[in-house]
Structure 1
């Protein structure tokens, strides 16, 4: 799990953004991620200037560099917004919602590292192409009849943004918070 030193749960809920003390490594990590995305975007734009999109020989390169730019812009946005909490409404009792989220964590072999009245942390192992043990952390805050959540990733050298699994997590959380017990997890 990424270190979220002195995470202020109440202020995070109020501001809808993770409020914690960032150390120098967190700041350096953010800077490095932004620098990588900006460098890839800049080099792709420079390459696109040299390519004639109407030429059949250059068409593949044109599409490839265009995709790199779109992907990097999306990655930049994901890194920029990873501390912002997304909201999902639910229409069941709060304790039932918490229980369903804990069951979801158990189903996906998450290590549940914190449970409090209005906060749950689920740590899911990531099996990507990297070395060492990495985890995707789902932080869930409870506020009245909504959950506020975000998904962050930790790595050995670089905490890259969570690109696509955040959308799957949102879909799963919406599904488990809206259905009856008889329909859940089938």
Structure 2
């Protein structure tokens, strides 16, 4: 299976630019948005290398950014599609620094397959994976969290709320009965 739609969101650009723009729109303590938050460790090129080495079956990679790109990136590569936030997120939500806004609008990306895997720029493959690890019979294997860990900080609350919404509309028992798949459980960790 060639996966047409391997989505990677990149959240880094020139520190001073990003800090200035984020502080302009942020109501939070601007010390939380200092340049350390947006520093570039130069590891993004290894993200592409990990896909090439451990997931060669991947078709297109949709690289989602605010508009900035590393100098070394080759936009002439037929497998790479650069998507800017303004290309798919409604203007009334821009600019955005919120990963929920970015990810909840991914379905608007032109030509993105129904079967895609989303990675952020800080998650790398470190061993071979197959498309069947993600999809089988055109169905996603892991699509939710079966037993959430109660949140203990603000960021974890995002995941917790997402799971609550999913569980509101989809019965865990029905999913297990229909697919025979558990999403996450203690034996998988």
Q: TM-score range by the shorter chain?
A: under 0.3
Computing the radius of gyration over CA atoms, which structure comes out larger, 1 or 2?
Answer: 1
Q: Which has the higher contact order (CA 8 A, sep 6+)?
A: 2
TM value normalised by structure 2: 0.27
Q: Where is the strand percentage greater, Structure 1 or Structure 2?
A: 1
Q: Where is the helix percentage greater, Structure 1 or Structure 2?
A: 1
TM value normalised by structure 1: 0.27
